[in-house]
Structure 1
Amino acid sequence: MDLVDRGAELSIMENMLGSCVAGHGGVLLVSGAVVTGKTALLRAFGERAVAVGALFLQATASEAERDLPLGVMGQLLLGADLPAAGAQRAARLLDLVTVTAPARPAGGGLPAVVRNAIPQLCGIVLEKSRERPVVIGIDDVHHADTYSLECVQYLARRLDAARILVLLGENSGFPTGNRRLHVELLRLPGCRNIRLGPLRRRGVAEMVSAYGRSGWRSCPPVPDLHRLGGGNPLLTRALLEDHRASAAGAAGRSLPPVPGDSFEQAVTTCLYRSDVSARRTAWALAVLGPQASRTELVAEVLGISREAARRGLSALTETGLLSTGWFRHEAGRSATLKSMDPAHRARLEARAAQVLHEHGEAATAVVRHLILAEPVDAPWALPTLLEAAERALDDDEVDLALACLRFARDTCADGQRSPAIRAAMTRAGWRVNPATAAQHLPELTTAALEGRLGPRHTEELVGHLLWFGHVDRALDVLGAVERSRAPGRTEGGGRYGPDDIRRWMVHGFPGFTGPVRVRTGRAEPRDPVPARTTRQRAANLMRAVLDGAGEDAVAGAEQILQGTRLDDHTVTALVVALNALVLTDRLDRASFWCEALAREAAARRAPMWQALLASVRARIDLRLGRLAAAAESARSALALVPPEGWGVAVAGPVATVVHAETAMGRLDEAAGRLGVPVPDPAFHTPDGLLLLRARGFHHLAAGRPYAALDDFLRCGYLMARWGCDLPALVPWRTDAAQGHLALGDTARARALAEEQLAMVGPGRAWTRGVSLRVLAGTLDPLHRLPLLEEAAEILRERGHRLELARVKDDLARAHRELGERGRARSLARRAQQLARECGVPAPRVAAAVGALPAGRPEPSGTPRQGHVELSDAELRVATLAARGHTNRQIADKLFITVSTVEQHLTRAYRKLAVQRRADLAGKLIPGGAPDGAGGPCGSACDQLNAV
Structure 2
Amino acid sequence: MTDRAGSAHPVLPLVGRAEHLEALAEHAEAARTGQPRLVFLDGPAGAGKTTLLRAALAADGPFADMTVLHGSCRAVAAATGYSGVRALFGPLGLTGRRARTSALLDGGARHALPALTATPQEDDAPPDDAFSVLQGLYWLAAGLMADGRPLVLVLDDVHWCDERSLRWLDFMLRRADGLPLLVVAAHRTEADPAAPDALADLVAHHLPAQLRLGPLDTRQVAELTGLVFPAHQPRPAFVGRLAAVTGGNPLRVVHLLTDLRSTGLGPDDAGERRIAEIGGRAVTASVHRMLEHQPDWVGRAARALAVLGDEDTAYLATLAGLSALHVEEAVDILRHAGLVRAGSREFIHDLVGAAVRDTGGEAGTAELRLRAARLLSDIGRPPEESAAQLLLVPDAKDPWALAVLRAAATQAEHRGAPEAAARYLQRVREAEPDDPALLTRLAKALAETDPERSLSLLHEAHALTTDARVRTTTAIQLALTCLSTQRSPQGVQVLTEALDALDAEAGPAPDPAQRELRTLAESVLLIVGADEKSTFPQALRRATRTTEPPGDTPAQRQQLAMLSVLTAADGGRAADSARRARRALRTPDAPLGTWSLLPASLALYLAEEDRAADEALETVLRDSREKAGVWTYALALSTRALFRLENGALADCAADARTALEILGRERWGDTATMAHTAHTSALVARGEVVRAEEALASIKRPGLDRFVWEYHWYLMARGRLRLARGDLDGALETFSACGESMEQAGLTNPVFAPWWLEAACLLGGLGRTAEAREFAERGAGRSERWGTRRALGYAALARGASTPGAAAVEPLREAVALLRSSPARGHEARASLMLGCALLAAGHAREARQHLREAVALARRCGCVALARQAREGLMAAGGRMREITSSPLDMLTDTERTVAGLVAAGAGNREVAQSLFVTVRTVELHLTSVYRKLGVRRRVDLRAVLRADEASSRRPETTDEQSGNG
How many residue pairs were aligned?
A: 616
Contact 1:662 1:698 in 2 (8 A): yes
Return the match for 1:430 from 447, 450, 467.
Answer: 447
User: Per-residue CA shift, 1:147-192, capped at 9, x if unaligned?
Assistant: xxxxxxxxxxxxxxxxxxxxxxxx9xxxxxxxxxxxxxxxxxxxxx
1:576 match:
599
- Give the distance between the partners of 2:855 and 2:372, measured in 1 at CA: 77
Task: In structure 1, give the amino acid aligned to 2:322.
Answer: I
1:738 match:
762
Question: How far 1:388 sits from its partner (Å)?
Answer: 3.2
Task: In structure 1, give the amino acid aligned to 2:62.
Answer: A
Return the match for 2:405 from 381, 385, 392.
Answer: 385
Task: In structure 2, give the amino acid aligned to 1:598.
Answer: S
- Give the distance between the partners of 1:579 and 1:708, measured in 2 at CA: 24
Return the match for 2:493 from 472, 475, 479.
Answer: 475
Question: How far 1:379 sits from its partner (Å)?
Answer: 1.3
- 1:704-783 map, 5 Å: 704-715=731-742, 717-718=744-745, 722=747, 725-741=749-765, 744-747=768-771, 749=773, 753=777, 756=780, 759-760=783-784, 766-768=791-793, 770-778=795-803, 780=807, 783=811
Task: Give the structure-1-normalised TM-score.
Answer: 0.51
2:434 match:
416
2:561 match:
541
Structure 1 unmatched runs, 5+: 2-33, 40-138, 141-170, 172-210, 221-233, 857-947
User: Per-residue CA shift, 1:83-125, capped at 9, x if unaligned?
Assistant: xxxxxxxxxxxxxxxxxxxxxxxxxxxxxxxxxxxxxxxxxxx
Question: How far 1:714 sits from its partner (Å)?
Answer: 1.6
Contact 1:635 1:657 in 2 (8 A): no
Is 1:595 paired with 2:621? yes
User: Per-residue CA shift, 1:542-592, capped at 9, x if unaligned?
Assistant: 213425336534533434788337xxxx55445434444544434431441
2:200 match:
none
- Give the distance between the partners of 2:56 and 2:665, measured in 1 at CA: 45
Contact 1:808 1:830 in 2 (8 A): no
Task: In structure 2, give the amino acid aligned to 1:564.
Answer: P
Alpha-carbon distance change, 476 to 651 in structure 1, aligned in 2, over 3 angstroms: same
Contact 1:441 1:465 in 2 (8 A): no
- Give the distance between the partners of 2:668 and 2:51, measured in 1 at CA: 46
Question: How far 1:640 sits from its partner (Å)?
Answer: 3.4
Alpha-carbon distance change, 785 to 767 in structure 1, aligned in 2, over 3 angstroms: closer
Alpha-carbon distance change, 848 to 522 in structure 1, aligned in 2, over 3 angstroms: closer
Question: How far 1:611 sits from its partner (Å)?
Answer: 5.9
- Give the distance between the partners of 1:440 and 1:358, measured in 2 at CA: 34
CA RMSD of aligned residues (A): 6.1
Is 1:240 paired with 2:260? no
1:633 match:
660
Alpha-carbon distance change, 577 to 842 in structure 1, aligned in 2, over 3 angstroms: closer
Alpha-carbon distance change, 852 to 530 in structure 1, aligned in 2, over 3 angstroms: closer
- Give the distance between the partners of 2:790 and 2:348, measured in 1 at CA: 65
Alpha-carbon distance change, 843 to 463 in structure 1, aligned in 2, over 3 angstroms: same
- Give the distance between the partners of 1:311 and 1:697, measured in 2 at CA: 82
- 1:170-185 map, 5 Å: none
1:585 match:
610
Task: In structure 1, give the amino acid aligned to 2:583.
Answer: G
User: Per-residue CA shift, 1:491-530, capped at 9, x if unaligned?
Assistant: 7988954575346435652655896599xx9996564134
1:830 match:
858
- Give the distance between the partners of 2:402 and 2:790, measured in 1 at CA: 57
Contact 1:317 1:323 in 2 (8 A): yes
Question: How far 1:440 sits from its partner (Å)?
Answer: 3.8
Give SS of 1:851's match. helix
Question: How far 1:731 sits from its partner (Å)?
Answer: 3.7
1:676 match:
702
1:300 match:
318
Structure 2 unmatched runs, 5+: 11-18, 29-48, 67-148, 158-184, 188-249, 259-282, 883-968
Give SS of 1:564's match. coil
Question: How far 1:537 sits from its partner (Å)?
Answer: 1.9
Contact 1:281 1:298 in 2 (8 A): yes
Contact 2:597 2:620 in 1 (8 A): no
Tell me which of the two structures has the higher relative contact order, counting C-alpha pairs closer than 8 angstroms and 6 or more residues apart.
2
Return the match for 1:355 from 375, 390, 415.
Answer: 375
- Give the distance between the partners of 1:296 and 1:374, measured in 2 at CA: 28
Is 1:457 paired with 2:457? no
Return the match for 1:529 from 537, 549, 566.
Answer: 549
Of 526-535 and 374-383, the range deviating more from structure 2: 526-535
- 1:101-116 map, 5 Å: none
- Give the distance between the partners of 1:494 and 1:310, measured in 2 at CA: 63
- Give the distance between the partners of 2:666 and 2:25, measured in 1 at CA: 44
Alpha-carbon distance change, 483 to 629 in structure 1, aligned in 2, over 3 angstroms: closer
Alpha-carbon distance change, 483 to 404 in structure 1, aligned in 2, over 3 angstroms: same
- Give the distance between the partners of 1:333 and 1:791, measured in 2 at CA: 79
Alpha-carbon distance change, 825 to 407 in structure 1, aligned in 2, over 3 angstroms: same
Alpha-carbon distance change, 640 to 248 in structure 1, aligned in 2, over 3 angstroms: closer
State the structure with more CA Rg: 1
Task: Give the structure-2-normalised TM-score.
Answer: 0.50
Give SS of 1:380's match. helix
Contact 2:584 2:596 in 1 (8 A): no
Return the match for 2:6 from 38, 46, 49.
Answer: 38
Alpha-carbon distance change, 850 to 642 in structure 1, aligned in 2, over 3 angstroms: same
Alpha-carbon distance change, 463 to 257 in structure 1, aligned in 2, over 3 angstroms: closer
Task: In structure 1, give the amino acid aligned to 2:858.
Answer: R
Contact 1:285 1:298 in 2 (8 A): yes
User: Per-residue CA shift, 1:242-262, capped at 9, x if unaligned?
Assistant: 6699739999x9999968799
Give SS of 1:38's match. coil
Question: How far 1:427 sits from its partner (Å)?
Answer: 1.9
